[in-house]
Amino acid sequence: MPIETATQEHRPAGVTAAAPWRVRAVSVQPGYRLSITCNDGTSGVVDMSALVNSTNAGIYAALKDAKLFQQVSIELGVLTWPNGADLDPVWVHEEIGKNKTWSVPA
């Protein structure tokens, strides 16, 4: 069952995340994938399986733990995890806008 997070629940008071590339919603899918929607309606799937399974994953290696991966949240339009990992929302928006599916490189 997908886990969904919306920016409004995690936004500090008085801060508006209006940039078109900011992530507005995310749901966790099987296989280390995230279904995302940005403020401008751009949506698609971010496949993080190659990254989390890479020998060079660095901070993202911890996300191989499915329970940690599912704790993705949106902070000011950025996908983040409790261990400090995050994804550049401009890069996410650009890649999803081109292809609808983006395999994050390792």
Q: What is the pTM of this model?
A: 0.82
Report the distance separating Cα 83 and Cα 76, nearest Å.
17
**What CATH code is carried by the domain that includes residue 91?**
3.30.2020
**Confidence (pLDDT) at 1:** 47
Of the candidates 62, 64, 73, 60, which has an alpha carbon nearest to the alpha carbon of residue 28?
A: 73
Q: pLDDT tens for residues 28-79?
A: 999 999 999 999 999 999 999 999 999 999 999 999 999 999 999 999 999 9
CA–CA distance, 38 with 69 (Å, rounded to integer)? 20
Both structure tokens of 83: 């261990």
Domain interval for residue 92:
4-103
Q: Where do we find the tokens 């409004």?
A: 8
DSSP 11: P
Mean pLDDT of the chain: 88
Number of domains in the chain: 1
